Structure 1
Amino acid sequence: MNKERRPGFTTRAIHVPPPPMDQQTPSVPIFQTSTFRFDTSEDYAETISFRRPGYTYTRGYGNPTLLTFERAIAELEETESGFSFASGMAAVHTVVTSLARAGDRIVASNELYGGSFSLFTKVLPRYGIEVTFVSPHDPDAVAAALPDAVLFYVETIANPNVTVADLEVLGAMCRASGVPAAVDNTFASPYLCNPARFGFDHVLHSATKYIGGHHDLTGGVVATTEDGMRRFRDMAIETGGTMAPFEAWLALRGLMTLELRMERHSRSAQALAEFLEARAKVERVHYPGLASHPHHEVARRLLPRGFGGMLAFEIEGGVEAGMRFCDALDLAWIATSLGGTHTLVGHAASTTHRQMDPVARRAAGIADGLVRVSVGLEDVEDLIEDFDRALEKA
């Protein structure tokens, strides 16, 4: 540009010099940009081909804010690398379709989040991918299904009936069979459980939940190997389901208080579960911190820091009673999602697992009157009072 002529107004407004910055800040900067400048075409070509470090395009090719979040998750989950996505389901879809192709077969737990179940039963068959469902609590069934499979998929704590998979046993079985293992660790969070310790190759999270922790972001992430990261990155570049910088910043903010929040979620959920277990109208309480839970001993081994903020209970009277209970609550919200500041409830059969037919729901242990509860950060005495009133009206 001619140095003797002053650039026009809009040119000067666009080409603002970056501020000098030699000091660190406690908040990671948000690089809210889709693209990055290069000095030469060669530098551009080398960087976009991943032969040279740097950033080219935020959709899968990297962004400093995203990279900071991905490295943080890998550090907390004790894996080599990580990659972030636009949602938890984008993470599940990308991981599965990166590791399986037409003609392949995967083995999956029969206790899954409704969205994952729909992906496995409705979408993957259209890709020519076969899915064998097994109980994660039946080692013989898992062992029989693993030969020739390209992936094993399970949830640490299952949604919505809060069963706990013995990841130590399952991870060893997958290692012995040479089958890659993936686990949705959303309900536990990186604070309560690190599945990579038990041989799991790919650890997925809906960052929307406990990682974010404030009901204000939608995102997903996988903690994985370096090879896994490259495979998932390449698939995400082609399919587009990548995280945005602001969501990554919100997730990083959430990680800073994850331990404090998970400790409180766990304490409050334990107290609420004990209260519900003593109520006559409650037929059964699903919470791994209770001695009555069928996987209590497994949970004590896998989750030494706490049993998490998710519980479920079966109310006497089936579907109608479950919905009446939810409607009678004042403090707790009827709402989708989980893992945040507010206590959220939902009747599983009519909401999160509506995609499953009654036979499949029963096979997964989801009763007609099952109410799922994400215990928030409110004072637990207030929550118990609210649930007590609602039970009287159910």
Structure 2
Amino acid sequence: MKKKGFSSRSVHGGKDIHLSNRPEAMPIYQTSVFTFDDLSHMESYFEPSSDSYLYSRDKNPNPSALEQVYADLEGGEAAVVTSSGMAGICAGILSCVQAGDHVLCSSEIYGVTGALLEKELNRLGVEYSFASFHDLSSVESAIQPNTKAFVTEVVANPLLTVMDIGALADLAHAHQCQLIVDSTFTSPYVIRPLEFGADIVVHSATKYLNGHNDVTAGVVISDQGKINRTREIIVRMGCNLGPFEAWLALRGIKTFALRMKQHCENGMKIAQFLAQHPKIEKVYYPGLPTHPTFAVAEKLLDGRYGGMVSFKVVDDKEKINRFIRTLESINLAPSLAGVASTLSHPMMTSHRAWSPEKQQTWGITMGLLRLSVGIEDAEDIIADLEQALEQL
């Protein structure tokens, strides 16, 4: 056989590697397309039982492996991963509603989820309204004839109000509605909402599921039929997760249980420390008996209350800035759930789009801070907080 030219060898070389055994770590399938032997082989891809791949926007081995893990951890039949948590919540909602339908959303919700309904889905004909989801009578009175979906978090951002997922699922189903639950703040280590009757669970996998602040990803978990529909939306909208990000997230999930155990243990210790500090006006942590929804947390969370702690200090921007600058190892950051402890300011980040009146109504003031407790030694986190609190 005639030796191919230099350019041809550059393009086609390196394809003859065959393994006689399997690698322990999953390789990265960093390819946009997959090849076929002929048209018959390609046609087999479209058979329902096919396990082959065509184009990485549709599916790729790395996201497929990640979906299997996430579905298993949540106790769902299937999962689909997305390019971000917001892509997941958007696709999850769109899988349940169309123009003319109504979405009932928790008033205590991540600000961008609220903005998605107000600014984007509403202009496409999807109606929405808000209700206090920790008050079932408020939820029931807000249901409309065209309500098709409830949207809530398990533990609300940022005041950590715990919603009674089982009761909400019963109410939703009694009115032929779907319950969509964002479980980012809790993770399947703490609660699996599908077990309480939720129809769809969404995570920003950027957070606890990955845990290392190096991936932006989301996931939707449900039964196979709902995931099939959600995947169609994701593929058509082009908000799929790439193979490298999926590979990183798959690596991150391997330490998930170990990380979450430490997050939860540290979260309780830090909450207890803050609760007795004279410069802290109020602590929001579902594991403290002083939290308004402690009884619900006890019922749902099985003694694991997570690593998110919010607390209220003096409403003085200058003093808060001094407190933040004095922190030595806790950085100000707009996200959460990494291995390192970080601080967030809800009024200036996650809920800045809310009107001043709405912020005030829900207690989102200048002095409200949200601490994502990491997996460091708890004594070191406390020491850093203690020395910085002296600046208030």
Range class of TM-score, shorter chain: over 0.9
Residue 227 (structure 1) shift = 1.2
TM-score by length of 1: 0.95
* Aligned-residue offset at 1:175: 2.3
Number of aligned residue pairs: 390
1:170 corresponds in structure 2 to 168
Partner of 1:196: 194
Out of 303, 322, 325, the position equivalent to 1:324 is 322
Whether the aligned pair in 2 keeps the contact of 1:137 and 1:165 (CA below 8 Å) is yes
Indicate the residue corresponding to 1:221 in structure 2: 219
SS at match of 1:313: strand
CA distance in 2, matches of 1:167, 1:175: 12
What is the DSSP-based 3-state SS (H/G/I as helix, E as strand, rest coil) of the residue aligned with 2:188? helix
2:271 aligned with 1:273 = yes
| Secondary structure of the corresponding residue to residue 244 of structure 2 | helix
Which residue is equivalent to 2:31?
Answer: 33
**Offset of 1:19 from its aligned partner?**
2.6
Paired position in structure 1 for 2:98: 101
CA drift at 1:367: 3.1
Partner-residue secondary structure (3-state), 1:92: helix
Question: 5 Å matches for 1:285-300?
Answer: 285-300=283-298
Letter in 2 for 1:372: R
Aligned residue for 1:190, secondary structure, equals: coil
Greater shift, 315-324 or 296-305, is seen at 315-324
1:13 to 1, 6, 10: 10
Write the mapping of 1:65-214 to structure 2, written as runs, cut at 5 A. 65-146=62-143, 147-214=145-212
Question: In structure 2, do the counterparts of structure 1 residues 22 and 202 end up closer, same or farther at CA, with 3 Å as the change threshold?
Answer: farther
Gap change, CA 1:135 and 1:48, over 3 Å in 2: same
Task: Find the aligned partners of 2:88 and 2:267 in 1 and give their Cα distance.
Answer: 28
The CA deviation string for residues 142-181 of structure 1, in whole angstroms up to 9 with x for no partner, is: 1223353111110011111111111111112122222111
**What is the aligned counterpart of 1:23 among 21, 24, 28?**
21
Paired residues of 2:207 and 2:213 also in contact (CA < 8 A):
yes
Residue-by-residue CA offset, 1:201-222 (whole Å, 9 max, x unaligned): 1110111100111111011011
- 1:93-133 per-residue CA deviation (whole Å, 9 max, x = no partner) reads 11212322211101110111111111111112111111121
Asked if the contact 2:335/2:344 (under 8 Å) is kept, the reply is no
Q: Secondary structure at the match of 1:27?
A: coil
Q: Segments of 4+ in structure 1 off by > 4 A?
A: 48-51
Structure 2 equivalent of residue 64 of structure 1: 61
SS of the equivalent of 2:150 reads strand
Structure 2 residue aligned with 1:243: 241
1:343 to 335, 341, 344: 341
Runs of 5+ consecutive residues of structure 1 not aligned to the other structure: none
> Residue deviations 1:265-284, cap 9 Å, x none?
11111111111111111110
Give 1:254 deviation, angstroms: 1.5
User: Within 2, Cα distance between the matches of 1:74 and 1:22?
Assistant: 30
Shift of 1:21: 2.3
One-letter identity of the residue aligned with 2:225: D
Q: Deviations over 1:26-55 (max 9, x none)?
A: 322211111000112243245257574321
Compared CA separation, residues 387 and 131, structure 1 to 2 (3 A): same
Secondary structure in structure 1 of the residue aligned to 2:390: helix
8 Å Cα contact 1:175-1:199 kept in structure 2? no
The answer as to 2:327 corresponding to 1:301 is no
The normalised TM-score by structure 2 is: 0.95
Counterpart-to-counterpart distance in 2, 1:375 and 1:170: 29
Distance in structure 2 (CA, Å) of the matches to 1:144 and 1:364: 20
Q: Structure 2: which 5+ residue stretches go unaligned? A: none
Give, in whole Å, the separation in 2 of the partners of 1:18 and 1:384.
56
- Aligned residue for 2:373? 375
Counterpart contact for 1:322–1:371, Cα < 8 Å:
no
CA contact (8 A) 1:326 1:347 kept: no
**Conserved? CA contact 2:315–2:365, under 8 Å:** no
Task: Say whether residues 1:230 and 2:228 are aligned partners.
Answer: yes
SS at match of 2:388: helix
CA distance in 2, matches of 1:124, 1:327: 39
Matches of 2:321 and 2:124, distance apart in 1: 37
Give the distance between the partners of 1:91 and 1:18, measured in 2 at CA: 38
In structure 1, give the amino acid aligned to 2:106: S
Equivalent-residue separation in structure 2 for 1:18 and 1:195 (angstroms): 47
- Worse overlay, 170-179 or 30-39: 170-179
Q: Give, in whole Å, the separation in 2 of the partners of 1:186 and 1:18.
A: 43
Q: Deviations over 1:244-296 (max 9, x none)?
A: 11111111112111111011011111111111111111110000111111111
Other structure's SS at 1:393 match: coil
**Distance in 2 separating the partners of 1:91 and 1:155:** 14
Secondary structure of 1:150's counterpart equals: strand
2:139 match: secondary structure: helix
RMSD: 1.6
Please report how far the alpha carbon of residue 305 of structure 1 lies from its aligned counterpart in structure 2 after TM superposition.
4.8
**Amino acid across the alignment from 1:391:** L
Partner SS, residue 42 of structure 2: helix
Q: Percent identity?
A: 38
Separation (CA, whole Å) in 2 of partners of 1:298 and 1:90: 29
